Amino acid sequence: MSAKSTEAAAKGLPNSLFAVQVLLGDEVVGMGRIIGDGGCFFQVVDIAVLPAHQGKGLGKLIMREIRQFIDSDVPESAYVSLIADGQAQDLYAQFGFRHTAPASVGMALKR
């Protein structure tokens, strides 16, 4: 996950359709969220676990909650997508996400 400015986070986080936080005491050690239009398009974003807490199943916990939301609240006809960085694709595959290539290819505008 790439770093975001405080200004961007303050604008973006409240507009999440669904969000998960993993807390250890008062510290947020992991998170994930879904953004989109609430009907046709949903994107899983910001799946992150602090390095000291990786490898403990927290990514799976976050994705399990996200998948539950998708299964219960997202219309069957909706398109649910994500961008997988590196080996994270193995985690997402466990929750039913598949590569879209060659039918489609993800693209991004870097600013």
Opening angle at CA 9, ends 90 and 40, nearest 5: 60
What is the total count of domains within the chain? 1
Each residue's pLDDT tens digit, 23-72: 999 999 999 999 999 999 999 999 999 999 999 999 999 999 999 999 99
CB proximity list for 100: less than 8 A, separation 6 or greater? 81, 106
Query: Does some domain include residue 103?
Result: no
CATH of the domain at 55: 3.40.630.30
Query: Does some domain include residue 108?
Result: no
- 111: pLDDT confidence band, cut at 50, 70 and 90? confident
- What confidence score (pLDDT) does residue 1 get? 59
Q: How far is CA 91 from CA 3, 24, 40, 59, 85, in A?
A: 21, 22, 24, 8, 11
- Domain limits at 85? 9-94
Query: Does some domain include residue 88?
Result: yes
